[in-house]
Amino acid sequence: AQTVTQSQPEMSVQEAETVTLSCTYDTSENNYYLFWYKQPPSRQMILVIRQEAYKQQNATENRFSVNFQKAAKSFSLKISDSQLGDTAMYFCAFMKQRGLVDMRFGAGTRLTVKP
Partner 1 sequence: IAGITQAPTSQILAAGRRMTLRCTQDMRHNAMYWYRQDLGLGLRLIHYSNTAGTTGKGEVPDGYSVSRANTDDFPLTLASAVPSQTSVYFCASRAAKNTGELFFGEGSRLTVL
Q: Provide the minimum distance between the beta carbon of 106 and partner 1 in the complex, in angstroms, as a whole number.
A: 5
Burial of 109 (0-12, 13-18, 19+ CB in 10 A): buried
Provide the mask over 75-104, with x wherever binding to partner 1 is found by CB under 8 A and - wherever it is not. Answer: ----------------x---x-x--xxxxx
* Site membership for partner 1, residue 3 (CB under 8 A): no
Contact 1, 55 (CB under 8 A): no
* Site membership for partner 1, residue 25 (CB under 8 A): no
Contact pick of 36, 106, 111, 113 for partner 1 (by CB under 8 A): 106
* Site membership for partner 1, residue 31 (CB under 8 A): no
* Site membership for partner 1, residue 108 (CB under 8 A): yes
Query: Total residues at the site for partner 1 (CB under 8 A)?
Result: 24
Q: Which DSSP string do the residues of 23-80 spell out, in sequence order?
A: -EEE-S-SSEEEEEEEE-TT---EEEEEEETT--SPPEETTEEEEEETTTTEEEEEE-
* Site membership for partner 1, residue 35 (CB under 8 A): yes
